[in-house]
């Protein structure tokens, strides 16, 4: 049985003007995600979420960013956030159906990934499994990514692990237009 309401009630429209402006800035005019509506109902949590977030573009390409986010969310079992990102960004990031599936079910060494992307996924997996990178894993990243991008990769993994904790812990029902984990 799927749940239809999260464990903490979301804000409902009409939104306060400052919240509406924040939603518009993040969502670019689209309706706000359920996660954002739940968080925005609690001023301190919403402020910390937005203040510590990585909702901007950053130094990674959209493709690199989405691989990190999708793999992190898949590894944490967060279909909610994985599905939002796949639906919204997989096309623009030029992720193929095989690559989307591999973010959930594949290993870092899957042949659908470039060498740099394999290093990226290996780093995400290491951070998920051990909360650190071995010398070899860091060297693998360093062969393809500069320091600013490596920091962004690590920050994205941590932030989207937190997002996954929120979405999973609050039992957020899947967004209607979001993708679903592949079988």
Question: What pLDDT score does 127 carry?
Answer: 98
CB 99 within 8 A of CB 113: yes
d(Cα 150, Cα 142) in Å, to the nearest integer?
8
d(Cα 75, Cα 96) in Å, to the nearest integer?
19
Query: Given this structure, which CATH class describes domain 62-169?
Result: mainly alpha
pTM of the model: 0.92
Q: For 5-41, write each residue's pLDDT tens digit.
A: 899 999 999 999 999 999 999 998 899 999 999 999 9
Where does residue 3 rank: exposed (0-12), middle (13-18), buried (19+ CB within 10 A)? exposed
CA angle 89, 150, 114 (to 5 degrees): 60
> CATH 1.20.1290.10 spans which residues of the chain?
62-169
Question: What pLDDT score does 81 carry?
Answer: 97
Q: Which residues of the chain have pLDDT under 70?
A: 1-3, 53, 55
Instruction: Note the residue count of the chain.
Output: 183
Question: What pLDDT score does 3 carry?
Answer: 60
């Amino acid at each position: 049985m799927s749940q239809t309401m999260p464990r903490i009630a979301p804000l409902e429209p009409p939104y306060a003007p400052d919240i509406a402006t924040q939603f518009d800035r993040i969502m670019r005019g689209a309706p706000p995600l359920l996660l954002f509506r739940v968080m925005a109902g609690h001023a301190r949590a919403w402020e910390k979420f937005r203040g510590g977030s990585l909702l901007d573009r950053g130094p990674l390409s959209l493709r690199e960013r989405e691989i990190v986010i999708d793999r992190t969310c898949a590894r944490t079992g967060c279909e909610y956030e994985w599905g939002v990102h796949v639906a919204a960004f997989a096309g623009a990031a030029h992720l193929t159906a095989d690559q989307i599936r591999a973010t959930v079910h594949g290993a870092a060494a899957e042949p659908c990934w470039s060498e740099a992307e394999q290093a990226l996924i290996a780093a995400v997996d290491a951070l998920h499994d051990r909360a650190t990178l071995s010398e070899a894993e860091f060297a693998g990243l360093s062969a393809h990514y500069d320091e600013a991008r490596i920091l962004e990769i690590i920050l994205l993994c941590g932030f989207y692990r937190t997002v996954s904790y929120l979405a999973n812990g609050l039992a957020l029902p899947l967004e209607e237009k979001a993708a679903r984990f592949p079988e």
